[in-house]
């Protein structure tokens, strides 16, 4: 049986299906030595190359869908490398043999909180697609005057540059969240992941977002005990909850051990890993700066 080329590339860990469609359209993919376009279907006995490199054909039956929950700090970018030398969200993730982590959506450099990664490109594509209406919840600190009329407009929908957008719900968090004066904390929910959508919605009403943190994706809440820069792999039950949500078949295998919470993914281990990574990066930056000074 044949499959869509972009689906095969996404499953191989080359990126989301949407990104693969762009790459195919750019003429960067060949099948059996011939550059192909969108709409191409392939089988497991054909040779697929991306930018000249052979892509291993992985069937759905051979794929284990793994999912990580990562607590992203502010200051990290959601790209695999950065020309400006900024930290990326991929630096701290565990190494994979024969695959790579795909981010399920993005958070901008000034946004912190829950970011999901997976090894399954099709799963990532469905989780991100607006038609699936997977909820994202954010804690947001607003600087400026907010009234009921403004909140009603944000719930009903306002026009942005890329179309109408709205929050499904808006709830004030109260003073316990640290708001005072004209700084107020709110929890907002939406089902899309457009670029800077939460910030642009508030800014359309003449107020500023001074802090933004994603606290929930679907039914998964950010673990308050998970330190910034730390990650934890989801168990089979949690993975299958998300797969059911986007109408994918259940997984029967997991890389997470039954006693995971008591051993390798303890909070102490996570904190040590975060500290070690931070120290290593600082040491690398010092050596780089010293080298520049000498030159």
- CATH superfamily of the domain spanning 67-232: Pseudouridine synthase (3.30.2350.10)
How confident is the model at residue 275, as a pLDDT? 62
Q: What is the dihedral of CA 184, 189, 194, 199, to 10 degrees?
A: -10
Tell me if 3-62 shares its fold with 67-232. Answer: no
Q: Which residues are catalytic?
A: 108
pLDDT-based confidence at residue 121 (cuts at 50, 70, 90): confident
Q: Which of 171-180, 236-245, 267-276 has the highest mean pLDDT?
A: 236-245
Helices and strands in the chain: count of H runs, count of E runs? 7, 17
Residue with tokens 């120290």: 279
**Mean pLDDT across the chain, nearest whole number?**
86
- Token pair of 67, please? 């999912």
> Nearest 5°: CA angle at 106, between 126 and 101?
70
On the question of pLDDT at 283 being above 80, the answer is no
Span 3-62: which CATH code? Answer: 3.10.290.10
**Each residue's pLDDT tens digit, 65-75:** 899 999 999 99
Q: Which of 3-7, 173-177, 263-267 has the highest mean pLDDT?
A: 3-7
Residue 4 class from Cβ within 10 Å (0-12 exposed, 13-18 middle, 19+ buried)?
Answer: middle
More confident residue, 58 or 210: 210
How confident is the model at residue 130, as a pLDDT? 86
Contact (Cβ atoms closer than 8 angstroms) between residue 71 and residue 26: no
Which pTM was predicted?
Answer: 0.74
Residue with tokens 């990650």: 231
% residues pLDDT > 70 (the chain) = 83
Least confident of 35-39, 63-67, 209-213, 221-225: 63-67
Contact (Cβ atoms closer than 8 angstroms) between residue 166 and residue 190: yes
Q: Where are the domains of the chain?
A: 3-62, 67-232
What sign does the CA torsion over 45, 46, 49, 53 have? positive
More confident residue, 193 or 6: 6
CA distance 139 to 153: 19
Strand partners, 163: 160
- Token pair of 143, please? 């600087």
On the question of pLDDT at 46 being above 70, the answer is yes
pLDDT-based confidence at residue 180 (cuts at 50, 70, 90): low
Q: How many CB atoms lie within 10 A of CB 119?
A: 23
More confident residue, 2 or 280: 2
On the question of pLDDT at 176 being above 50, the answer is no
Q: What is the DSSP string of 82-96?
A: -TT---BTTTTSPP-
- Token pair of 257, please? 């051990």
Angstrom distances, CA of residue 199 to CA of 68, 89, 159, 188, 240: 26, 21, 14, 11, 32
**Each residue's pLDDT tens digit, 13-33:** 787 788 899 999 999 999 999
pLDDT-based confidence at residue 260 (cuts at 50, 70, 90): very low
CA distance 44 to 294: 54
HSE at residue 89, side-chain half, CA atoms within 13 A, is 29
Q: What is the DSSP string of 250-276?
A: PP---SS-TTGGGTTT-HHHHHHHHHH
Contact (Cβ atoms closer than 8 angstroms) between residue 52 and residue 11: no
How confident is the model at residue 11, as a pLDDT? 80
């Amino acid at each position: 049986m044949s499959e869509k080329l972009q689906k095969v590339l996404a499953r191989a860990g080359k990126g989301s299906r949407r990104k693969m469609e762009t790459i195919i359209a750019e003429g960067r993919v060949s099948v059996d030595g011939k550059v192909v376009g969108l709409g191409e279907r392939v089988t497991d006995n054909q040779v697929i190359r991306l930018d000249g490199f052979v892509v291993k054909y992985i069937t759905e039956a051979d794929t284990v869908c793994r999912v990580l929950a990562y607590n992203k700090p502010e200051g990290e970018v959601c790209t695999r490398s950065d020309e400006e030398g900024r930290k990326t969200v991929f630096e701290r993730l565990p190494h994979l043999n024969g695959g790579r982590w795909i981010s399920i959506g993005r958070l901008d450099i000034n946004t912190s909180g829950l970011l999901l990664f997976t090894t399954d490109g099709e799963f990532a594509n469905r989780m991100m697609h607006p038609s699936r209406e997977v909820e994202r919840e954010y804690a947001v600190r607003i600087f400026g005057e907010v009234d009921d009329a403004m909140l009603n407009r944000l719930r009903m929908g306002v026009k942005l540059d890329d179309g109408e957008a709205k929050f499904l719900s808006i709830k004030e968090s109260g003073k316990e969240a640290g708001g005072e004066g004209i700084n107020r904390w709110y929890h907002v929910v939406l089902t899309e992941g457009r670029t800077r959508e939460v910030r642009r919605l508030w800014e359309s009403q003449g107020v500023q977002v001074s802090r933004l943190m994603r606290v929930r994706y679907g039914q998964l809440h950010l673990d308050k005990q998970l330190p910034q820069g730390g990650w934890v792999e989801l168990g089979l039950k949690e993975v299958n909850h998300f797969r059911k949500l986007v109408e994918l078949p259940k997984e029967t295998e997991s890389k997470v051990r039954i006693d995971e919470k008591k051993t390798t993914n303890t909070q102490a281990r996570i904190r040590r890993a975060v500290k070690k990574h931070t120290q290593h990066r600082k040491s690398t930056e010092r050596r780089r700066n010293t080298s520049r000074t000498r030159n």
